[in-house]
Amino acid sequence: MPYKWQTDKTPMPRQADKRVKLTDRQRKQIRLNPDGLSQRKLAKLYGVSRRLITFILDPQKLADNREARDKRGGWEQYYKGGSEWAKTMRKHRRYKQEVLTGNGETQQTKGESEL
């Protein structure tokens, strides 16, 4: 029987989600772009790809990209499976469990602090 945290679909808090590259405030600053910087310069300034900047500035391109990706098979074309994927998922689930239950440090962080 799975643990509750494995079946609970409570979303990860945005500030704890490792996939989030920019805060909402940074996204707003990019949209405003008061200095008139190019997409490449904005990408370098924020440490992200130019493609992410493009999607922030032009949401229609993001929608078109998602539609094209769905036609190609979506995320499933990148799913590799096997032991490496299982290892990655275990690590992610442990991290999510600790974030959602509020248990301070992760095992990895504890090990790194002892070095």
Percent of the chain with pLDDT over 90: 35
Rounded average pLDDT over 55-62: 95
Mean pLDDT of the chain: 81
Domain ranges of the chain: 20-102
Averaged pLDDT, 45-70 = 93
Summarize the confidence of residues 93-110 as an average pLDDT.
71
Q: What does the pLDDT average to over 33-48?
A: 93
pLDDT score of 41? 95
- Select the highest-mean-pLDDT range: 9-18, 38-47, 103-112: 38-47
The three state secondary structure string of the chain is: CCCHHHHCCCCCCHHHCCCCCCCHHHHHHHHHCCCCCCHHHHHHHHCCCHHHHHHHHCHHHHHHHHHHHHHHCHHHHHCCCHHHHHHHHHHHHHHHHHHHHCCCCCHHHHHHHCC
